[in-house]
Structure 1
Amino acid sequence: MTPGQRLRQIANVLNGSTLLGLLLAACARTSVSPGPHGLLIASRYRWRLPLAGAFTVGNVVLFRTGPEVARSNPVLLCHEERHSTQYAWCLGLPFLPLYFIAAAWSLWRTGNPASANIFERHAGLQAGGYPDPQVTTGGTGPTAPERNEA
């Protein structure tokens, strides 16, 4: 673990976000095991929300799959690790409302909650399995296909 990863791990424990992630993992009855770079992997998450195959709360990455599948996807783990760093930069739990505001903005601009979401863009859209952005320039909602009316 690098000094930066260790600092992030400590920051997310102190700001309460990792503790919230562990509480969520316990309530959802997932199995938690140590992961790479100071992350904790909570596997076999079965609750309906969120719809994602993986999501992060503090340094806890919750996966719908088993731990062996989660560990075998280093690109997705790197994406989720970036979200863990975002929790630290946002001082923990303030990340959640900021993320939801960014998701709503993205939904309004592109029709999906990730493409224009600054947090997802900085974590790597493709690494997270999200579509490329199709942001409009006018700020009036999703881009409609052009019509050629005669």
Structure 2
Amino acid sequence: MTPAQRLRQIANLLNLSTPLGLAVAAASRSPVSAGPRGLLIAAGYGWKLPHAGAFTLGNVILYRAPHGVAGTDTVLLGHEERHSTQYAYCLGLPFLALYGAAAAWSMVRSGNPASRNFFERQAGLVAGGYIDTNHRRQGNPAGTRIEA
């Protein structure tokens, strides 16, 4: 593990986001195993919410996929790892409120919770399985007028 990854691991332990992730994994009966770079992989998450195939709480990544499959998609794992880093710099649990506000903003702006969500864009929309629906209106070039 790099010093930055170790720092993230310690920060997310102290800011209580990783303990929350472990509690959710235990409550949802999702077995936890060690993952790369200080991450923990919880497999077989079966609760209805959130709807995502994977989501992160601190350094715990909860996957709907079963053990042996969870954590094998390196692109998705990288996306979720970036969320783990976001928990650290948002000082843990405040990330949940900030993420909720960003998702609401995205819904207003684009009609979906990810497309204009700062945290999802920073983690990589495509890597997280999202489609960028941010289509800016194509107006007339500056200074061009349509005359009737």
Poorly superposed stretches of 4+, deviation over 2 Å: none
Instruction: Assess if the C-alpha contact under 8 Å between 1:107 and 1:113 holds in 2.
Output: yes
Structure 2 counterpart of 1:14: 14
Give the secondary structure class of the aligned counterpart of 1:70.
coil
Equivalent residue letter for 2:24 = L
Consecutive unaligned residues of structure 1, counting only runs of 5 or more, are 138-150
For residues 22 and 93 of structure 2, the distance between their equivalents in structure 1, rounded to whole angstroms, comes to 14
Query: Identity, % of aligned pairs?
Result: 66
Instruction: Assess if the C-alpha contact under 8 Å between 1:109 and 1:135 holds in 2.
Output: no
For residues 18 and 136 of structure 1, the distance between their equivalents in structure 2, rounded to whole angstroms, comes to 38
2:91 paired with 1:91 = yes
Equivalent residue letter for 2:56 = T
TM-score, normalised with respect to structure 2: 0.90
Consecutive unaligned residues of structure 2, counting only runs of 5 or more, are 138-148
Larger gyration radius, structure 1 or structure 2: 2
Structure 2 counterpart of 1:29: 29
TM-align CA RMSD: 1.1
Structure 2 counterpart of 1:118: 118
For residues 67 and 78 of structure 1, the distance between their equivalents in structure 2, rounded to whole angstroms, comes to 18
The residue correspondences of 1:24-103 to structure 2 (distance < 5 A) are: 24-103=24-103
Q: Give the deviation of 1:135 after TM superposition.
A: 5.0
TM-score, normalised with respect to structure 1: 0.88
